[in-house]
Structure 1
Amino acid sequence: MNSMTRDKALQYARYRLPYSIEASKFVIETANVSQGIIADIGSGTGLLTQHFVGEVEKVFAIEPEFEMRKISYELMKQREGIEYIDGVAEETSLPDQSIDLIVAANAYHRFNPEAAIKEFARILKPQGWLAIFSYYDDHNFFRDTMLVCNIAQYNERLAATRHQEPVTYFYGDSAPHRFLFKQEHYETWDEYWGAVVSGMEAPDESEDWFEIFQEAHKQRFNKIASNGQITVRYSTEVWLGQPKYG
């Protein structure tokens, strides 16, 4: 598996699809945490974090990859109310019952479900909330992006970094509510490819299957592009609830 280099982390920050600002505002209002303490677990370069900083009392940005934490800090160093922690979902180092709201974006796919649930139960206040953000589309754009190049090494990496539990598993005995916030995003080839290659599972230029991987994506992009640009229609998907852990 490739390490998260600075170049890859920069691509992640520049080219990954944005999350809906409206979705974050909705979560803050619904959970009533404008004066609360939030933990963004797997915060990466701050794609989701940025929507909460300044809108709540404090955000703990928890991310194990140094380069991603560094870029997030560089992007938000003038903003108050954020503290960075070198940690993971399974071991955040936060105090017991200290968090009003846990948020997690697509990084939740990488969590160890059982260990993460135990940690969530430990750090959440008794009436604390959990909001899991992801991308959703009913045109299978994201699925097709992962399947466009059927290379064994890539498939193995994807399988190794994604658990099979449904998102609802992280809420224990409670049933979260699901919300969709529609978005539309336009990408040139450079933006599309930047998002694809920013993933930790993607090959780097030194690997012998890099050119095959890139060419497959070029063909896919050219097939669906119009005037050198594609339109990505998707939603920020939010699962929101108050977990009940036995």
Structure 2
Amino acid sequence: MSDLHSTARFSDRVDDYVRYRPDYPPALIEWLQREQGVDAGWRVADVGAGTGISSKMFLDAGYRVTAVEPNAPMRAAAERWLQGYENFDAIDGSADATGLPDASVDLITVAQAFHWFDQETTRREFARILRPRGLAAIWWNSRRLTGTRFLEGYEALLQKFGTDYASVAERYTDDARMREWFGAGFRGSARFEHAQRLDFEALRGRLMSSSYAPQAGHPQHEPMLHALGELFDSCAERGTVSFDYDTRIFAGHMA
């Protein structure tokens, strides 16, 4: 999958992404502060910031955040959403060419985006923009595939209707490879439970925010939504289903 494809593939899904993608558990920042010594005086570069979900989490905690995002519609959505924060700005840049000055940030954050990056060029760029002893923190919400009838049915739906689901799903990095990527600079990892309660409209939007969900006009689009409706009706409790995640975070220096 080309880098051009990966940076452009969410352009026509921005509205659903803003409304229906999950946030991240507050325990994540608490862990960074408690275990890694991060504090609100640190300048943050949120790389692959998308529509600003992870940026907002740090802004709400008092941090100064620069969102680095190559996708223009997603970056514009973040700027609209977060325009009220004086300590926020957004720039056009990528993981291997952020556009930030040398040794200019204390903390690099990457949320739900690392699997799109070239890992070698990203490591060099992160080492360049981090101040001495600066930290990189990489995390993502990993959707649970089993454990409830809904989760297992949703995974089966993606396997059946997703346009390139298998290739995208296989891009997520496992724990051992993340430790290897940080090398001698690895400082620690943690895992937190997280979930969304979704009614059918929100579940539909969550599905359509995914880059592998066929859109209107595709022959699989209507059959997929019909199957989603049947799955929801068979699993919903009091009008919602639980969309469950494990949030995994890895932190370290750029050795």
Superposition TM-score tier, normalisation by shorter sequence? 0.7 to 0.9
1:225 aligns to 2:236 (yes or no): yes
Aligned residues: 243
Residues 113/75 of structure 1: CA separation in 2 closer, same or farther (3 Å cut) = same
CA contact (8 A) 1:53 1:80 kept: no
- Could you say if the C-alpha distance between residues 149 and 53 of structure 1 is closer, same or farther in structure 2, counting changes exceeding 3 Å? closer
Q: Which of residues 201, 206, 209 is equivalent to 1:195?
A: 206
| The structure with more helix, counted as a fraction of residues | 2
Q: Distance in 2 between matches of 1:32 and 1:25?
A: 9
Aligned residue for 2:28? Answer: 23
Q: Tell me: CA distance 1:137–1:67, structure 2 relative to 1, closer, same or farther (3 Å).
A: closer
* Contact 2:158–2:165 (CA under 8 A) maintained in structure 1: no
Aligned to 2:192: 181
TM-score, normalization: structure 2?
0.82
In structure 2, the residue matched to 1:72 is: 78
Deviation, 1:230, is 0.7
How much has 1:162 moved relative to structure 2? 2.9
Q: Which amino acid aligns with 1:202?
A: A
Distance 1:151 1:218 in 2: 15
Q: Report the secondary structure of 2:158's partner residue.
A: coil
Q: Which of 86, 101, 104 is the equivalent residue of 2:110?
A: 104
The unaligned stretches of length 5 or more in structure 1 are none
Partner of 2:96: 90
Taking a change above 3 Å as real, the CA distance of residues 60 and 157 of structure 1, as seen in their structure-2 partners, is farther
Report the Cα distance in structure 2 between the residues aligned to 1:77 and 1:152, rounded to whole angstroms.
37
Deviation of 1:192 after TM superposition, in Å, equals 1.1
CA RMSD, 1 decimal: 2.8
Instruction: Check whether the contact 1:101–1:128 (CA below 8 A) recurs between aligned residues.
Output: yes
In 2, Cα distance between the equivalents of 1:197 and 1:239? Answer: 28
Relative to structure 2, which stretch is displaced further, 157-166 or 84-93? 157-166
My pick for the range that moved more, 102-111 or 174-183, is: 174-183
Tell whether the 8 Å contact from 2:187 to 2:252 is kept in structure 1 after alignment.
yes
* Maintained 8 Å contact 1:130/1:171: no
Q: How many angstroms apart in 2 are the aligned matches of 1:177 and 1:143?
A: 31
TM-score, normalized by length of structure 1? 0.85
